[in-house]
Amino acid sequence: MDNSIDLKTILKTVRSSLPGRLRLRLPQLVSIDSDSALLITQWIESHGESIAVSLNPRVGSLLITWDPNRDNLDTKELFSEAAEYLNYATSLGIINEEKKSKENASTYQIENCAKSLAKQAEFLGNGILDRLCPYIAYDIKQKARKRRVTQNRLMLASLLFSVGVLATSQTKSHVLFGGAFLALLTVHLLQHRKVL
């Protein structure tokens, strides 16, 4: 199986290209070590005086900026050299494309599973809260606010009961009310995860 990187492959990685600014997304650079990242950065910057490179190994993003008035950066020549450089780095084991793709696939599956579980837990928690709203937040008229008030009141009550039964040495009740509090807190955090 030929894992060589050609010019056509490199050209597909271009995310944006403007005079003096070029952004690439290269899967081969995901999770690259800092020494290799420094080598790549220095190699690209050696093509002109005004060239600056920013490499983000977390996502495999490479931003190249330069002053078009000072440096005439021939991007096709740079891409051709980059393909050779990446092939050389892969052959030396600096970049392990197969390992990276397996790591990315595994990470992607774990993230998808976690997101799916979080959505299911949030859905289940919201369903329970909606059923309890008429009994706990009976004094609230706004429908959107009822669930939030119900959740807050249940969290406060379960926390108070958990601490209260702990004072009376009822360990089983403490675990029960503490578990209820943690379940409500989990739903709360799932609902507000974007602002955490």
Task: Please state the rounded mean pLDDT for residues 95-119.
Answer: 64
For position 194, what pLDDT does the model report? 67
Query: Between 79 and 185, whose confidence is greater?
Result: 185
Residue 28 and residue 97: Cα distance in Å, rounded? 6
64 lies in the same domain as 140: no
* Pick from 121, 122, 149, 124: nearest CA to 135: 149
Q: What is the pLDDT of residues 40-97, one digit of tens each?
A: 888 888 877 888 888 888 888 888 888 888 877 666 677 666 666 666 666 666 555 5
Which residues pair with residue 25 across a beta bridge? 61
Q: Looking at the domain assignment, is residue 83 inside a domain?
A: yes
Q: How many domains does the chain have?
A: 2
Whether residues 61 and 132 share a domain: the answer is no
**Host domain of residue 31:** 7-95
- What pLDDT, on the 0 to 100 scale, is given for residue 2? 47
Answer yes or no: is 102 within a domain.
Answer: no
Task: Yes or no: say if 60 and 86 are a contact pair by the CB < 8 Å rule.
Answer: no
Residues 136-147: tens digit of each pLDDT: 888 988 877 888
* Residue that finishes a domain, picked among 37, 63, 95: 95
CATH code (residue 32)? 3.30.70
Same domain, 14 and 75: yes
Which pLDDT score, from 0 to 100, does residue 7 have?
Answer: 59
Q: How confident is the model at residue 1 (pLDDT cuts 50, 70, 90)?
A: very low
Query: Are residue 36 and residue 74 in the same domain, yes or no?
Result: yes
Give dist(CA 130, CA 147) in Å, integer. Answer: 6
Classify residue 182: in a domain, yes or no.
Answer: yes
Query: Is the pLDDT higher at 155 or at 100?
Result: 155
Q: Are residues 82 and 162 in the same domain?
A: no
**Residue 73 DSSP class:** -
Phi-psi region of 23 (alpha: psi -120 to 50; beta: other; left: phi over 0): beta
Query: Tens of pLDDT along 6-39?
Result: 556 666 777 887 888 888 887 777 777 788 788 8
pLDDT of res. 196? 58
